[in-house]
Amino acid sequence: QQLTDVSTLTGAIKAGLGAYLPGVFCNQPVLEKKLLSAAHIKGEPLWPMPLDPQQDSALNSNVADLVNCDDSFGGAVTAALFLEKFTEGLPWAHFDIYAWTDSPRGALREKGGSGQLVQSLLTYLGVST
């Protein structure tokens, strides 16, 4: 069993990596390597991102169990650390994407929704593309 999510919570990944380079956060190095390999096979860009435990304190709150964002830097890392709290120890990957493009560059079809990482995920799952 494993858990995979494809989303953006804060849009911070775009600030750090740009609109065409998604990031992946993994709690297991072997899983991360397989996902990066699938992206390489399909020619889709993907950048490994850290789950930095030093930023865990950014999730602390005086009024809630956790907060999903704070006012500090590293919003993409903080958001991924927030998601990791709900994985219950399962192998997990968070694809942090900005899957919208104003040009055909990097899109599967035209302007608009880009289909970012669809081919990589299908390759990882063993589905022919």
Nearest C-alpha neighbor of 18 from the set 79, 99, 80, 111:
99
- For residue 107, pLDDT over 90 is answered with no
Residue range(s) defining the domain that contains residue 13: 3-125
Q: Which two tokens stand for residue 128?
A: 């022919």
pLDDT digits (tens, 9 = 90+) for 10-62: 888 888 898 788 999 999 999 999 999 999 999 889 999 999 999 888 899 99
pTM of structure = 0.86
d(CA 32, CA 43): 16
Read off the tokens for 66: 């956790």
Number of domains in the chain: 1
Least confident of 9-13, 80-84, 125-129: 125-129
Any idea which of 16-20, 57-61, 63-67, 77-81 has the lowest mean pLDDT? 16-20
pLDDT score, position 68:
78
CATH code, domain carrying 81: 3.40.630.10
Residue-level pLDDT at 2: 95
Neighbours of 72 (CB within 10 A): 11
